[in-house]
A and B are shown apart, each in its own frame.
Chain A
């Protein structure tokens, strides 16, 4: 093997890579919250909706969880221009990932919905709460604790697996930056090893913070109830 490692060069590029990491985080956060809203809606439809709405939500979930996120993004990036809609890579990735995440989050939220006992919902109903109010004041606080681990884990998954997909169409998140810089300095192996390391650190920080927030939030929640 006639290749001399030059990690120094790669480490010099850290600022550029960290910029990519910021984009990764942005993408992850936006995707997660967007997906969570979709998930809440989807879970509501699936639990409380009439047969048509339930079927629709179900089809959405089944379709988006059985097709690759990359293809969903390609469809937006290469398909929409046929109809005159040209979104930039970041937007395509964001929307594609959000729709994808929404499907998985629908199932996570639905599991939480199901765990709420009928009695609590009925009690809230007799108190005059509308369905939306019931969801907001009875279900969400109740399940927030139980599905928090699943949500936290899913966020880290989006961060790690989801966002890197954007690099394929040129989004400057962490992996994308690694590609950009490597095409200039030809230090592919070193760059990607460093990037792998950054991903590990990033996800560890995210997991740890979420775990700590979870512990803090639980205690606060307990006091309120």
Chain B
């Protein structure tokens, strides 16, 4: 059984159809990468999964249990098991790093503060930000903020981690520090759905690559297939363009 499964997912904004029937499956511990041109709907898939954008059809299943995005309780339960890291880090500007990481586990999940803070310190050390506990987001570089965002997501102890173009807003020299962190998580067996432009990284870390275009999955397969011998024209065209860089 898949850890996370998406069946025929559709999402529309008024007349504009963003997702036209997306199918995805992730096994436990699998790292799946979503690639494709801008506007293909990759980020929307993640947003729908987290309940930030409503789906108009299809199904999302976690460990075989469907999620009903019209019911608040079901959405809350799904969010308990997943965590998302955004492209713009979306840190809370009025809280320091430690509080950003600990607030949700303590105030929303109701865990003991001391325990959460100890874990937060561990996580921050893991992402290489051990001395930055009391810094505020506007004192940190983009790469540092993104790593705080990752620590914040991990503090929720999610089963599934969603990463939405987490290196796209970073200066090139800061990208690697974030990729290293993700590499580590993959090695530890975290189930991850990554939307990314970093093709070399995707190739290295993902066990399956899914290419999307105009709201549909165009092709999926191991990185070797997608990058070296794409089966569909559209995939070939896209890969050809991006790999020419």
Check whether chain A touches chain B (CB < 8 angstroms): no
- Chain A residues within 8 Å of B, Cβ to Cβ: none
- Chain B residues within 8 Å of A, Cβ to Cβ: none
